[in-house]
Structure 1
């Protein structure tokens, strides 16, 4: 047994026999071909056991950091270990961008895609939606290239590592653009209920932060902060007062008391897309990892109902909570995406780093949201088995390409 290896949050200690770090795709193929049970470890930002195994863990961090831009097709091909923060700088220098980014630039492209990680914006889909091709190392060590022309493509992009090791991905690009970020304080809960679509659509990317305190039971919460990210070319509409909220007079961190220097620049100062769309700067670690996270997607049409449902259990939720973020994700076609064929509002919970305290809060949230058919984020903590329309197809695909279960683990066995 190896020395203890944990995820970023420290709540999961991996049970692997060893951690392998191949330095080339050929070495990766040999590692996979001789393995009997194997899972890939990205940057470790999942909060559950999706990457755990009693076999071997494989890290792609030592693969050559390929970022090959094809100007004719306006795509980039990246190796599996590349992080978004590293990729974004290279793209921007060449005049390109990705349509959206997650709140953290520290995560790997392959890991984020595999779990349908996302940013925010009513017109912005998950990060996986820009993938046009993947090179997947199967259990035999052979490499299959899966493209949008393949019938199994939408089942292969968000696949939780159950189909093999993604050696590289090809992503669609857009021209580089500038973003200005403006934060507002104290949006009233009744205003949120009355204007939820207007608020969530008020900028290219919008995030609402709340601690679920100080609100009537079974009502949408007061919003501590609204982070509005505008594409500069589309105009910046950021008056001193907006729907009862006040424009922040200094930089904000979503968590009161945390250093704002960790956050991307605010106050409407224009800057490159990659330096504004995430909430946190690449050069800073946003926290020490002493936290747990959950996130649930519901139909955007049910936004007020979802906020009210969680408000009804706020007495259980708030004591275990550090902060909650409310975002939007546009519908996509990936079989295991929480936004599969429905525009969503995502309710994210950053919990305290105490599993015993968080467990009843997760149960309360899941019970409250159950009538709205919530789908959990695959990389966060959840208890109830998710219901996905294409789940049976995903199971069949995994069995077809990995009949011996080399890439399975307890998490895959439980949910696929």
Structure 2
């Protein structure tokens, strides 16, 4: 594994060269021009000459954060480099590489990243920019593993930064607002194996104990029962399986999908079958449809200690939630120091809603969920649907606005969505 350009084979089920809209189909990009540069110099010239420009990832954001009326640029055409540095415990990768493609190459060298999101289809830079995450009591979101960034700034300059830069904690989760990221350096750990078990019918009062039971834990509910439907336990392969009566649940004896009725072959292996980290940490397999595909999504991060109270606050709306819901997922994410991370300085519980693909039906329920969660200082996932401005919940909000003024005084990377949350001076 070297710094030389190594093309990644095209995945027939992967993203288009430059997305025309997002993955769920609820957003069509309005860009006047679309570009897929093949070199960093070409990208630098493009950015320097543009009035408005945005970087396109794999289109997995559910809102218009990445939309622009100007130039939309995919970095997936840049050389797909993966440069491992065992001495420093890092890997430097092309920004447009998908996590699933990175993972197979890392694993072949005996290394891993500590955590992965539920789907491996997302690009490294896009996931980092929005603080996308997996789960686990001690696992932070994906952006927390970033040790360095290379990005093209508004004037076309190429900037390299690392943790020694006092602005670094504000540059990592940047919502695409500070430049076009070309390479990302990530912390790595030795490769490891996991087993995945699915348990059924978790009592609500056992939720906190369940969160602490494995390396990564996801809990699913359809809001139609007093019990939580499924618990996905991703535990180290050398650990004993959960006992038959684990927390009052029963063991699934066939493979499951989080969304009822969806094909289970889309999901990673379960039933305790051991396998490498990158084939167990995600819920879905690369090259297969993740989740249901026809959906909308929202997610809010709250202090972990408030999980039970937050669910109780939502209980009066359970029937309305269930009527427009495909599945709700509950996860924990460890605290970090990144300014715009939803997990900034607090261990969190993430409450994720996969809604039906009917925006008109979902909108009033989404608004009610936000209202009911408001007492818990919720921070929404930046790449999903939400209505309230979360500025008040971020202690470093004003510091990030200062970075916007420093890096993009003319608003080259701004969008309507960004202007809602970070008004211009």
TM-score by length of 1: 0.95
1:242-271 residue CA offsets vs partner (Å, 9 max, x unmatched) = 111101011000112211111000011110
Distance across 2 between alignment mates of 1:351 and 1:288: 10
1:176 aligns with 2:191: yes
Structure 1 unaligned runs (5+)? 216-221
1:371 aligns with 2:375: yes
Q: 1:218-229, aligned counterparts within 5 Å?
A: 222-229=227-234
Aligned with residue 24 of structure 1, among 13, 30, 39 = 39
* Residue of structure 1 equivalent to 2:210: 199
Distance across 2 between alignment mates of 1:257 and 1:397: 46
* Residue of structure 2 equivalent to 1:356: 360
1:389 aligns with 2:388: no
On the 8 A contact 1:335/1:391 being kept in 2, the answer is: yes
Structure 2 unaligned runs (5+)? 1-17
* Residue of structure 2 equivalent to 1:86: 101
1:288 Cα shift? 5.7
Q: 1:219-368, aligned counterparts within 5 Å?
A: 222-233=227-238, 235-287=239-291, 289-368=293-372
Aligned with residue 221 of structure 2, among 199, 210, 223 = 210
On the 8 A contact 2:215/2:234 being kept in 1, the answer is: yes
Q: Secondary structure at the match of 1:132?
A: strand
Distance across 2 between alignment mates of 1:4 and 1:39: 12
1:57-93 residue CA offsets vs partner (Å, 9 max, x unmatched) = 0011111111111121121101111000000000000
1:395 Cα shift? 0.7
Aligned with residue 413 of structure 1, among 406, 416, 419 = 419
Distance across 2 between alignment mates of 1:199 and 1:239: 13
1:287 Cα shift? 4.9
TM-score by length of 2: 0.93
Distance across 2 between alignment mates of 1:257 and 1:51: 31
Distance across 2 between alignment mates of 1:348 and 1:290: 16
On the 8 A contact 2:268/2:285 being kept in 1, the answer is: yes
Distance across 2 between alignment mates of 1:97 and 1:259: 28
Q: Give runs of ≥4 in structure 1 deviating > 4 Å.
A: none
* CA RMSD after TM alignment: 1.2
Alignment size in residue pairs = 403
